Copies of this chain bind each other. A is one copy, B any other.
Amino acid sequence: MDLTVTIGNGKLPNPVGVASGTFGYGSEYESLIELSKLGAIYSKAVTLEPRPGNDAPRLVETPSGMLNSIGLANVGVERFLTDKMPFLARQACAVVCNVAGSGEDDYLRVVERLETHPDIFGYEINVSCPNVKHGGLALGTDPVLVERLVRRVRGLTRRPVIVKLTPNVTDITVVARAAENGGGDAISCINSLVGMVIDVGARRPVLPAGCGGLSGPAIRPVGVALTYRVSRAVSIPVIGIGGIMSADDALQYLLAGASAVQIGCATFVDPSIPGRVLSGIADYMTREQIACVQDIRGLLQ
């Protein structure tokens, strides 16, 4: 059975990764999950400088989902390399660094620094962060900016460059094509939706930042729909994300056109989910006599 996924000049051992921001720097889950079984660990967003993150509370549960307002809290690229990469480098699974910034140069400088480390599989460019120059809207809402950013990142590395799209746009296929034109090797689809919960008793939003990112099973139908659309608009692989809790959910993404998937907040709910999703996909392939996980994509009627 062939479970591998080719992305650019790299190959992931299997299609089930753990999503950025939900798996820290890997070591946090070491005693609960066999990390070597993961297709890839997508790191928490790495920025040029360390970021403390947003004010508390940062989380609130919603019907079949959750809102987060972490605010890219991370140790910064230098400490990522010195403190976090040694552990990650020892793992058998691929390490993809999720890269974020407030302006184009930030992204480029982070990638430049990460290029110095030999054990990084590739980059996931998170264009969903609010961008100051872009009127507070995410950089990822503007196809011109996305194409230029991806092209410049492309110029810095031969490693796989994955572009992670925001669902909060009118036509996600336009941004996906921009990422492809810029030289991106794959699309991650989707980041969280914009959401807000108001504490009626306190008469204020639960999150001090007001809005947060909505994720979890609630958004799965949105993720599947956008994966379906994006995978028909580009010819590079698509990595489906959003609300995956089971192998059946992951298979919805693969049938919709994804080549791989990422598990986000389901790992919080039950750390055995990534492993069970992978074994469930393998069982499905056995049962349905599918030799290659990449063939699932073509089976949708």
Contacts of A168 in B (CB 8 A): 170
Within 8 Å CB of A65, what residues of B?
Answer: 63-64, 218, 221
A218 contacts across to B, CB distance below 8 A: 62-65, 217-219
Q: Which single residue of chain B is at the shortest CB-CB distance from A66?
A: B221
* A221 pairs with B195, CB closer than 8 A: yes
Question: Inside 8 A of A214's CB, which chain B residues have their CB?
Answer: 221-222
CB pair B62 A200 closer than 8 Å: no
CB nearest to A251 among chain B residues: B200
Interface residues on A, range: 35 or more
Classify the secondary structure of A's interface with B. mixed
CB pair B63–A200 under 8 Å, yes or no, is no
Of A96-104, A146-154, A203-211, the one touching chain B: A203-211
Interface string of A216-244 (1 = CB under 8 A from B): 11111110111010000000000000010
Known: A203-B300, A255-B203. A196 touches B169 (CB 8 A): no
Cβ contact within 8 Å between B211 and A248: no
Residue A92 at the chain B interface, CB threshold 8 Å: no
Cα of A178 to Cα of B203 in the assembled complex, Å? 30
The answer, yes or no, to whether A197 is at the interface (CB within 8 Å) is: yes
Write the chain B residue with the least CB distance to A201.
B248
A200 touches B248 (CB 8 A): yes
Residues from chain B with a CB closer than 8 A to the CB of A220 are 62-63
Interface flag for A263 (CB, 8 Å): no
**How many Å from the CB of A179 to the closest CB on chain B?**
16
Interface positions of A (Cβ within 8 A of B)? 62-65, 67, 137, 141, 168-171, 193-198, 200, 202-205, 210-212, 214, 216-222, 224-226, 228, 243, 248, 251-252, 255-256, 284, 299-301
Give 5 A-B pairs besides A195-B221, A197-B252, A198-B256 with Cβ atoms closer than 8 angstroms: A63-B65, A198-B224, A200-B248, A204-B301, A205-B300
